[in-house]
Structure formats: structure tokens, C-alpha cells
Amino acid sequence: MLITVSFNFVFLKISKKIPFLKNNNALAACVEFLKRQAGSLNLPVEVVYPAVQSKPVVIIKWLGTQPVLPSIVLNSHTDVVPVFRDKWTHDPFAADMDEEGRIFARGTQDMKSVGTQYLGAIRLLKASGFQPKRTLYVTFVPDEEIGGSLGMAEFVKTDYYKQMNVGFSLDEGATSESDVHHLFYAERLRWGKIPLVGLQTD
């Protein structure tokens, strides 16, 4: 129960204070919030701009005991799909919690809950004295909902990303009503172009 309360507390702080990508000011607030979270975990954080100044990538680093090993990336994103307020029974950027503990907010499942879980898990692991063997990066990228062309697609081309020596990455996933969470191996291909030939039809 303590873990759930802790996750809900951080999640509500994220959702109430940071209406992800309502505008660029909200994104700047998101970056500052993530910097504070990294500081509270005593972990270094960097912000890089692989494409344009309005699309920052936030990288939190937990150095492993064997940093030469390929690293692990836990990826999250900071944008959400558009909001049509007339379709909502709650303010989509208020993070209302009902009596059953359900949180109503834009981006609760995609992707604020996952980023919160990454940070919450690290907080608990650090408190227990755990130290990872591999370096762990938590990345928060922009632009995912519209293809990532100004976010992850450009970030993976940078020297910064290459120096991260990524062995594998966990990205977003579906919610689960139980303690079981399924991982899908190689769900997506790496960024690239695939030429296709076909016939045009009317």
C-alpha cells in the first residue's frame, strides 16, 4: 500500500502541475519538474536538444558498477494527444482522483504513469541500497505522439546517444489490472526507411 500511495502522490504532482504539451511553457515546466525529481534522487540530469530548442530530451543517469557494459534505457515521452474538453467528465489537466483511486487526466496511461513508475522504482531501489551493474538511463523525449521525428528519431543520431552504449530499452506499455506486466520483444523496428512498391487504386 505504501508503494501505491507513493506512486499516486508523485503522479498527481506531475499531472496537476504539468499539463504535458498544452504549450511550450508547459514543456519547460515539465523539464524543470524532471530536473527536481533527478535532484531528489541524487542523480545527474542533462537536457539535450537534438532537433530544435522547443523539443528537449531529458536524460537522468544512474551510473552502474560496471559502466563499460551496455546500458539500459527506460524511455518515456512528454507529449500527449490533443484534448477535446467537451468529451471529458473531468478537467483533463486537473488529475482528479475519485473515491476508488482512479486518476482522470490526459496522459495518465500514455505516458505519465510509466515515467512515474520508472522514477518510483528507482527511488525504492536506491532506498534499499541497490546499485545496478549496468548504467541506467531514464529518458523523457518529446514528439512521440506525432511520430518522434523531432524527438527520438533525431536523438538516436547524436553522439550523446552513441556514448550511452545502449544494450536494450524499455518503452511504453499497456496498463494491467494485475501484478503481471507483459513485455513485447522487438515490437518495433529501429528508425529507418523501407521502400515499398505497389499499385495505386481508386
Positions marked active-site: 79, 144
The whole-angstrom separation of Cα 87 and Cα 30 is 25
Q: How far is CA 84 from the centre of its chain?
A: 23
| DSSP-H helix ranges across the chain | 2-17, 24-40, 113-127, 152-155, 159-164
The whole-angstrom separation of Cα 113 and Cα 151 is 20
The whole-angstrom separation of Cα 53 and Cα 129 is 37
The whole-angstrom separation of Cα 185 and Cα 115 is 20
Contacts of 36 (CB under 8 A, 6+ apart): none
Grid cell listed for 163: 556514448
